[in-house]
Amino acid sequence: MPNSTNHKDLQQVAVAPTIDELPNGLRVVVTSIPHSQAAVLAAYVGVGSRDEARDTLGLSHYLEHMLFKGTEARPEPTAISAAIEGAGGSLNAFTSRELTCYWNRVPFDRLSLAMDVLADSVRHSLLAESEIERERTVICSEIRRAHDQPGQRVGQLLTQAAYGEQPLGWEIAGDLESVGSVTREHLADHIATWYRPSNIVLSVAGNIEREQVLEFAARHWGEGWPEGASAAAPGRSPAEAGMSDDLAQTEVRNLEQCNLALALRSIHRLDPDRYAMTLLNEVLGGGMSSRLFTEIREKRGLAYSVGSHPTAFDDAGHLAIMAGVTDEHVLETVDVVLDELGKLVAEPVADEELERVREHAIGSFRLGLDAAASWCHRAGGMLLSNGFIEPVEETIAGYESVTTADVRRVAQRVMREGNLAAAVVGPFEQADELREQVDCFSPS
């Protein structure tokens, strides 16, 4: 007999994260997925590059590297990775403008080991001077590599153009000068200032049980914090509304093609229009059926790859548009993009188009939660950044509530005169013409 379980039955066993708080204020979110073979753990810390001083920019990222370089219990620099990889697992970390995350993934029966290693690396780093100097060379190489890669470099220039001289416009990894000025004292002060229980979320997902996770969390994260760790972390300076003085930044390089990027400042992470913003992006450049892909690649053959994506922060955000084109097609491609932006402001999206992108957004969102790691990072990142975890069905309901009028309203909020920045890296020498296009942007 076929299995008669239907969609409604499956909803009754939907994955649902639980949130607990240790006495010291550290929050623990557990997402039990009984059919998974993995346990994924992540420690989210509420500090990123926008919380740093300009002269030591890259400090959060530098520390992210250092917390893998030996602890009191595992003094050898490779001991932390060897412990996890020896169990068949993997580990890594990342730094963004607003948070730092350390994670590992192991078979579910090695949860105890994973919790021990994660807590040990985050809480008990030796910060050995020799390792700090060795890693400085590694980080400087990483910075040089990003500069040498045109796709990454154009993103750097675009961020500078869109945000100007403020922390959101600076590079996450810093630059060679700021990284060169970082000392052990800077790293230790950074830990003392930001790595406090109330500023950390521990997220665990997979074939695990809440009670067991809480027992391990209390053991490894509940005690032994230094004096003063119970105080709240510092507040964050608000983002500035203004953009750069140079809204069209170019870097001429001897390449086969140009990397073109455009950006419009948009909405913050919890703006009520965030669902409409997602669907607006789907219409504009969210896939191979999007308007930009159709107009720029399919109809005109100007680019192989073209698309858009929104980025949102606590109190700011931007919509970025990227394309790879030859130098003689840069200005034409910009004209096409600006024309499509103008259409979104002037004309409502057709009902059929909205329904198509709505289904794509909902389907992509569901498929993005297909693994324990996805649940771990969604829950941990949301709880740290927003203070709550939005239920899956609430997110989907948000998408389902968007109307064509909502999409047009958001387009009018974002696509406005004086709110466009551009960047090009490649053999492009018509910077003045590009600036004129940007300066003349007026879609209304």
User: What tokens appear for 25 in the block?
Assistant: 């204020």
Nearest CA among 133, 159, 102, 129 for reference residue 322: 159
Q: Residue 165 corresponds to which amino acid?
A: E
Integer angstrom CA distances of residue 139 from 59, 68, 92, 175: 11, 14, 15, 9
Q: Exposed/middle/buried for 319, CB within 10 Å: 0-12, 13-18, 19+? A: buried
Integer angstrom CA distances of residue 40 from 132, 187, 384: 28, 27, 17
Of the listed 21, 52, 64, 165, which one is catalytic? 64
User: What tokens appear for 403 in the block?
Assistant: 């109307």
Q: How far apart are CA 149 and CA 53, in angstroms?
A: 26
The question of whether 64 is a catalytic residue gets the answer yes
Give the count of beta carbons closer than 10 Å to the beta carbon of residue 138: 10
Torsion sign across C-alpha atoms 23, 26, 32, 38: negative
| Residues annotated catalytic, as ranges | 64
